[in-house]
């Protein structure tokens, strides 16, 4: 990923990237995105972009493993996150879903992960401390709640599932208040041009619709030009 592409990805929303991937692929049907409504701790912030560092947690029930194993795994988890090559995103599956209660993402964890240099977090689980989450570290989560429950790490560096989206360690993530997607490796080199083409062609309709006297005839003309430009 070039600095130019990274800068552009931070300026556009996830629906734009979703459409641009189809432009790069030359067809509709891209499906590596989340399903359903997710919540964002900072909906006005730029999108989260980075390579996934993954883990699984649980919180409804206390851990059954010995305390020293739980503690050791926790430290292994933080070392794994701290050593992530940037840009990186923490992608955490809560195994209690859809009955998650443990807010793993609160003031402390968001501040720690931001300190590690990570871009943000994506989870199907719970977030809290919304007034105290540090700026520049958005969390895209499944719900908001007050308690951490018995939250503990179950797995690290493993395949996870977030609202129907399968994420492998190292996958390139784009996420914002709309949800998240995985950018396919084979179109990364074409993605910047695809986004620029998409933005340019969309202006054909958007600019026409903002003109005084816009009517069906003007729409029909603009839409015809829009469809030709998309080919």
Gap between the Cα atoms of 113 and 121, Å rounded:
9
Per-domain residue ranges for the chain?
Answer: 31-183, 191-230
Q: Domain 31-183 in CATH: superfamily?
A: Ribonuclease E inhibitor RraA/RraA-like (3.50.30.40)
pLDDT tens for the chain, residues 1 to 231: 899 999 999 999 999 999 999 999 999 999 999 999 999 999 999 999 999 999 999 999 999 999 999 999 999 999 999 999 999 999 999 999 999 999 999 999 999 999 999 999 999 999 999 999 999 999 999 999 999 999 999 999 999 999 999 999 999 999 999 999 999 999 999 999 999 999 999 999 999 999 999 999 999 999 999 998 876
Alpha helices in the chain (DSSP H): 3-11, 14-25, 67-82, 107-115, 188-209, 216-230
Query: What was the pLDDT predicted at 229?
Result: 86
Of 150, 31, 165, 18, the closest CA to residue 91 belongs to: 165
- Tokens standing for residue 153: 């790490």
Q: Kindly give, in sequence order, each residue whose CB lies less than 8 Å from that of residue 132, ignoring residues fewer than 6 positions away.
A: 106, 107
Query: What was the pLDDT predicted at 231?
Result: 60
Query: What was the pLDDT predicted at 64?
Result: 95
Gap between the Cα atoms of 152 and 231, Å rounded:
50
Query: What was the pLDDT predicted at 30?
Result: 96
């Amino acid at each position: 990923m070039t600095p130019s592409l990274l800068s552009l990805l931070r300026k556009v929303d996830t629906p734009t990237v979703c459409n641009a991937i189809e432009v790069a692929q030359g067809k509709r049907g891209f499906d590596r995105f989340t399903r359903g409504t997710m919540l964002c701790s900072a909906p006005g912030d730029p999108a989260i972009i980075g390579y996934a560092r993954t883990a699984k947690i649980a919180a409804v029930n206390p851990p059954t493993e010995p305390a020293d194993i739980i503690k050791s795994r926790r430290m292994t988890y933080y070392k794994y996150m701290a050593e992530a090559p940037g840009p990186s995103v923490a992608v955490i599956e809560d195994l209690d879903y859809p009955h998650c209660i443990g807010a793993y993402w609160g003031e402390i964890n968001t501040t720690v992960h931001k300190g590690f240099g990570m871009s943000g977090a994506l989870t199907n689980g719970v977030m809290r401390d919304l007034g105290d989450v540090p700026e520049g570290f958005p969390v895209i989560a499944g719900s908001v709640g007050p308690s951490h429950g018995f939250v503990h790490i179950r797995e690290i560096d493993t395949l996870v599932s977030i609202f129907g989206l399968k994420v492998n360690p190292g996958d390139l993530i784009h996420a914002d208040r709309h949800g998240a997607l995985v950018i396919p490796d084979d179109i990364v080199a074409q993605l910047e041009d695809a986004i620029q083409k998409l933005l340019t062609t969309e202006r054909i309709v958007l600019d026409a619709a903002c003109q005084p006297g816009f009517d069906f005839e003007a729409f029909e003309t603009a839409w015809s030009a829009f469809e030709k430009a998309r080919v």
